[in-house]
Amino acid sequence: MKNTSNEKKDTVINVRISTDEKQKYIEEAKACNMTLSNYVLHILKNKKITVIEDGSKIAQAMYDLNESLKKCMNDTKISVEEARLSVAKSVSRLKTCMEGV
């Protein structure tokens, strides 16, 4: 059930957790750029949130892959083997960055 803009939130659910658990949820919510309330609601509705700790590494690996592909498409002097190795190297870096995500 999605919350629509005209749906009023008028009920509170109280849950008792440890201080450490609450702090953990607060930190996870911040990592997702969410309020604690929205984070908990998202977990309840979707059952899973994946946090990518350092998205800049993944973004850089994707950029490198794109550059390798562009080079292969635009450089008429590059051999098929060079193109394959260049793209394989970029894909390998991206795969390494994505492990554990």
Domain ranges of the chain: 1-51, 55-98
pTM: 0.43
Q: So what's the pLDDT on residue 58?
A: 80
CB 36 within 8 A of CB 25: yes
Q: So what's the pLDDT on residue 50?
A: 67
Span 22-50, mean pLDDT? Answer: 86
Instruction: Kindly indicate the confidence band of residue 59, based on its pLDDT and cuts at 50, 70 and 90.
Output: confident
What string of H, E and C letters represents the secondary structure of 5-63?
CCCCCCCCCCCCCCHHHHHHHHHHHHHCCCCHHHHHHHHHHHCCCCCCCCHHHHHHHHH
Q: Does the pLDDT at position 73 exceed 80?
A: yes
Tokens standing for residue 90: 């970029």
